[in-house]
Amino acid sequence: MSEQFEPVIIGFTCNWCSYRAADLAGTARMKYPANVRLIRLMCSGRLDPTFVMKALAGGADAVLITGCHPGECHYIEQNYKALRRYLLLRRTLGGLGIEPARVKLVWASAAEGAKLTHEITSFVEEIRSLGPLHWPQWDGAETSAPAQAPAAAD
Amino acid sequence: MTSQAIPLHLPGDAPHEKIGVYVCHCGTNIAATVDVAEVRDWAGQRLEDSGVVVSRDYKFMCSSLGQELIEKDIKDLGLTRVVVAACSPHLHEGTFRGACKRAGLNPYLCELVSIREQVSWVHTDKHAATDKAKAVVSGGVERVVQNTPLEPLHVPIHPATLVVGGGIAGIQAALEIANAGFPVYLVEREPSIGGHMAQFDKTFPTLDCAACILTPRMVEAGANPNITLLTWSEVVDVKGYVGNFVVTVNKKARHVNEALCTGCGICQEKCPKKVVDEVYEAGLGYRKAVYTPFPQAVPKYPVIDVASCTFFQKGTCRACEKLCPTNAIDFSQKDELLTVEVGNIILATGYDLFDARRIPQYGYGRLANVFTSLEFERLTNAAGPTNGAIVLRDGQTTPKTVGIIHCVGSRDRNYNNYCSAICCMQSVKFAHLVKERTGAQVYNFYIDMRTTAKAYDEFYQRVLEEGTLFVRGRVAEVTDAARQPGEEGQLIIQVEDTLAGRQRRIPVDMVILSAALEPRRDAKATAQRFGLSCSADGWMIEKHPKLDPVATMTEGIFAAGCVTGPKDIPNTVAQGAAAAARVLGMIQRREIELEPIKASVNQEQCSGCRICNNLCPFNAILFHEDRMVSEINPALCQGCGTCVAACPAGAISGTGFSNEQILSQIDGLLMLNVARQSAAVTA
């Protein structure tokens, strides 16, 4: 395994800010690694935590959540709700034995193509060093599973 | 097994939909980085189980031939879904939806996925980019299967328009709309409309007097029966959406009854309190506590400045009240909140001048005879504090040498990176006026001369011929510390003359700083109030910088003039008229189609927990106490989807971005990845 680990990251973007920031990054020919695949939502408030779990369960190594800066939400205040869900989600992931750092929240306005580019690049680096996502094996088959996991499996 | 994708659909489970995939080359924009043929073949073979029946590529899918290709397939092959892999949906979603509609397919059954802005333009490795393009196409295919046919919402357009800002951009826009026969509310926060242009003396390059061309427009706007002037007023709240905005305007107390006031001016004459006029006279002149900013003000009614009025501060005086022949002074007047309904809004709030004190080495505010461009405009103005005499700060000495510094706060990474667009021409105009009125020697210090519009360069050449000296170089310092004989008592401009290749010290009597145009200090708050976004510099962002310069990202809100960036008067006027044309187009249509992205509650599934009730900032969710279920009012729902994500019973669904659509898109995006992993495991 001399090859560099290339994570797959699902990114959720807001139609009004970060999706446009991604468009702007493209128009300005900024460069970032190809590991991130973006999904457009109307608002970061639309982000159902199920989407994140689904992505991680389906083979993604990490999830990037992006939205408008606090106070700049197109729908007044829904990005605050995204923030609350994000904080809860990180705790839930920790409880499941998954590094919370695999989910990241970034604010990026429509003008911040450069910021989004930078955030994606550094997030890919962080996940590369974290390595592939291994879901804890509850049946005890995997030796890397946490010690208390088999007991909880029953 | 090694090369086989994991099918998302079980074998034997025949796909319900017939999907066409169309991969665009965009010339070489996509094709140079993404192997388009490989993506096409991959989609045709691997996504067959998902329902892909045809997969094609084309040089320019958005061309009429490209669109016809899709239309023909819909008709000939009976496609029920279309996925186009090309540019951003913000650019061409409408184009491809239109093609589907023409071929008889519901436009919302078409999905445009971005492999240009999000793939070919941001990645360099062809292999990785092609893989990502496949994943993106696969995401689109899985998503489109879950799309449902939708009908756009039809919303009536209220015929009235709100224009915010009464400078030349706002006046032009208001007049165009009013003259076409539709009502306009023109809101201005100062006591009079006119804006910055009313402060100028001459306008470049024709040198016609600003007041001579502006004041007739102001009068016209004031007299037009279709225009409701709301001066000394500010927009405090904006609700609603395109076609139906409800705007709250704070009409500040004038303390002058407009119904009684004749604008005779006796109150201003008799008011004993004189204060420095920081706004209109740029701090060079005085006004009274009851005032109109200038004699030709529209409307003619004065306002009482409460902060400086003796009666309001000390409880005595009342001179204006006693002497007003029509008893129009009303000290008891209160601020008034007006609610107006409009279909469209034009934002023309203009700019603020860069505060030259921020560059201490140029000495503004410390060295008396350093002036800003706006101060100089007032100085040369025949109606200004010196009656047009160009004199030093002492009010009498005529300068013999004048230095004009360009790009003060512009094209400077310490302040603003952008070019303020008007300073070159403004400085050349100043040079001409100084020369003409005083015969003084004039030096212009510039980085580059930018005289790009009609008759601008000819004017520059004329001023060159008049003998104005142009020194190429950014001024390092303006100082009063004489170092050489002959410099005493003067301001010395220290500059590297980059054409002569040497340092120079040029003593002058007067310095004029051509200060940058900056976004309004409260631009950010304004942007938030109207639901717009500002660029990093603070200017409002237009919908498209080239193709849609007067529209904004928010439907029904347009922008004109310097609110989107520095502009000269001709461009500002053109934008005012352009924004008006866009609004008139909207009004003429009487109704518009809106994206049918709305949430709705399945009343059977709703448990009545009311979690969603408090999440909606638009109060679109109402709770039926009798049936214990929530319901969403589609007229108020803005489609953010926050309630959809929050419903623990999964009873709320959101059209266009349903759980099924997004979960399937996640599946699709990861399909390639899953295939790889299982290949690695079995290898």
Determine the 3-state secondary structure of B341 from DSSP: strand
| Residues B335 and B434 reside in one and the same domain | no
* Paired tokens of B564: 């989107």
Tell me what pLDDT residue B3 has: 40
| Residues B202 and B344 reside in one and the same domain | yes
Of B533, B640, B669, the CB nearest to A110: B533
Of A26, A29, A45, the CB nearest to B642: A45
Domain limit, last residue, from B518, B537, B569: B518
Please, which residues have CB within 8 angstroms of residue A14's CB and are 6 or more apart in sequence?
A: A41, A42, A43, A44, A66, A67, A68, A74, A79
Confirm or reject contact between A41 and chain B (CB < 8 A): yes
> Residues B343, B586: contact at Cβ < 8 Å?
yes
The Cα diameter of chain A in Å comes to: 54
Of A29, A46, A49, the CB nearest to B121: A29
Tell me what pLDDT residue B535 has: 85
**Per-residue b/e over B298-334, b at no fewer than 16 CB within 10 Å?**
bbbbbbbbeebbebeeeeebebbbeebeeebbbeeee
Residue B284 lies in a domain: yes
**CA–CA gap between residue B88 and residue B112 (Å, rounded):** 7
Question: Averaged over B618-625, what is the pLDDT?
Answer: 90
Tell me what pLDDT residue B536 has: 82
Confirm or reject contact between A83 and chain B (CB < 8 A): no
Closest CA of chain B from A43, distance in Å: 5
**CA–CA gap between residue B627 and residue B593 (Å, rounded):** 33
Q: Do A72 and B553 touch (CB under 8 A)?
A: no
Name chain B contacts of A30, Cβ cutoff 8 Å: 122
Question: Averaged over B353-376, what is the pLDDT?
Answer: 97
Q: Do B125 and A34 touch (CB under 8 A)?
A: yes
| Residues B148 and B223 reside in one and the same domain | no
> What's the CATH number where B330 sits?
3.50.50.60
Closest CA of chain B from A35, distance in Å: 8
Q: Do B657 and A109 touch (CB under 8 A)?
A: no
* pLDDT of B358 higher than 80: yes
CA A36, distance to chain mean position in Å, is: 9
Of B132, B535, B617, the CB nearest to A77: B617
| Residues B76 and B54 reside in one and the same domain | yes
Tell me what pLDDT residue B153 has: 85
Of B125, B642, B667, the CB nearest to A78: B642
| Residues B506 and B362 reside in one and the same domain | yes
Q: Do A37 and B641 touch (CB under 8 A)?
A: no
* pLDDT of A153 higher than 60: no
Residue A2 lies in a domain: no
Element spanning B94, H or E: helix B89-102
Tell me what pLDDT residue B282 has: 94
| Residues B99 and B186 reside in one and the same domain | no
Confirm or reject contact between A75 and chain B (CB < 8 A): yes
Q: Do A32 and B122 touch (CB under 8 A)?
A: yes
Domain limit, last residue, from B350, B372, B389: B350
> What's the CATH number where B36 sits?
3.40.50
Tell me what pLDDT residue A72 has: 82
Residue A31 lies in a domain: yes
Name chain B contacts of A45, Cβ cutoff 8 Å: 615, 640-642, 645
Residue B591 lies in a domain: no
Name chain B contacts of A31, Cβ cutoff 8 Å: 122-124
Domain limit, last residue, from B518, B550, B569: B518
Closest CA of chain A from B551, distance in Å: 15
Rounded alpha-carbon distances, angstroms, from residue B616 to B599, B608, B658:
11, 16, 18
> Residues B345, B582: contact at Cβ < 8 Å?
no
| Residues B129 and B165 reside in one and the same domain | no
**Per-residue b/e over B446-465, b at no fewer than 16 CB within 10 Å?**
bbebbbeeeebbebbeebee
pLDDT in tens, B524-546: 999 989 988 888 889 998 888 88
**Residue B594 — pLDDT band, cuts 50, 70, 90?**
confident
Q: For residue B257, which phi and psi values (nearest 5 degrees)?
A: -75, 110
Residue A3 lies in a domain: no
Residue A4 lies in a domain: no
- The domain tally of chain A equals 1
Tell me what pLDDT residue A144 has: 46
Residue B546 lies in a domain: no
Tell me what pLDDT residue B291 has: 96
Which position has the token pair 């679109």?
B620
Print the domain residue range for B134.
19-152+658-682
Print the domain residue range for A135.
9-153
CA B351, distance to chain mean position in Å, is: 12
Tell me what pLDDT residue A112 has: 92
Question: Averaged over B214-221, what is the pLDDT?
Answer: 96
Residue B570 lies in a domain: no
> Residues B545, B140: contact at Cβ < 8 Å?
no
Helix axes B210-223, B168-179, angle to 10 degrees: 40
| Residues B662 and B650 reside in one and the same domain | no
pLDDT in tens, A108-125: 998 899 999 999 999 999
Please, which residues have CB within 8 angstroms of residue B413's CB and are 6 or more apart in sequence?
A: none
Strands B285-288 and B274-277: antiparallel
Residue B556 lies in a domain: no
Of A26, A41, A71, the CB nearest to B121: A26
Closest CA of chain B from A68, distance in Å: 10
Question: Averaged over B204-216, what is the pLDDT?
Answer: 94
Residue of A nearest to B678 (CA): A59
Q: Do A26 and B644 touch (CB under 8 A)?
A: no
Which has more pLDDT, B9 or B502?
B502
> What's the CATH number where B620 sits?
3.30.70.20
Residue B566 lies in a domain: no
Residue B231 lies in a domain: yes
| Residues B246 and B330 reside in one and the same domain | yes
Closest CA of chain B from A136, distance in Å: 17
Which has more pLDDT, A71 or B650?
B650
Strands (E), chain A: 9-14, 36-41, 62-67, 103-107
pLDDT in tens, B34-56: 999 999 999 999 999 999 999 99
Residue B574 lies in a domain: no
* pLDDT of B394 higher than 60: yes
* Mean of the per-residue pLDDT values of chain B: 93
Look up the pTM and report it: 0.81
| Residues B178 and B125 reside in one and the same domain | no
Confirm or reject contact between A20 and chain B (CB < 8 A): yes
Of A6, A10, A76, the CB nearest to B666: A10
Three-class SS of B5-73: CCCCCCCCCCCCCCEEEEEECCCCCCCCCCCHHHHHHHHHHHCHHHCEEEEEEECCCCCHHHHHHHHHH
Q: Which amino acid is at B294?
A: F
| Predicted ipTM beyond 0.85 | yes
Confirm or reject contact between A47 and chain B (CB < 8 A): yes
Torsion sign over Cα B226, B231, B233, B238: positive
| Residues B461 and B375 reside in one and the same domain | yes
pLDDT in tens, B276-327: 999 999 999 999 999 999 999 999 999 999 999 999 999 999 999 999 999 9
> Residues B113, B84: contact at Cβ < 8 Å?
yes
- The domain tally of chain B equals 4
> What's the CATH number where A88 sits?
3.40.50
Closest CA of chain A from B77, distance in Å: 29
Which position has the token pair 């952008």?
B418
pLDDT in tens, B148-199: 999 988 889 999 999 999 999 999 999 999 999 999 999 999 999 999 999 9
* pLDDT of B268 higher than 50: yes
**Residue A146 — pLDDT band, cuts 50, 70, 90?**
very low
A&B contacts, CB < 8 Å: 143
Determine the 3-state secondary structure of B446 from DSSP: strand
**Residue B675 — pLDDT band, cuts 50, 70, 90?**
low
| Residues B509 and B388 reside in one and the same domain | yes
Residue of A nearest to B119 (CA): A34
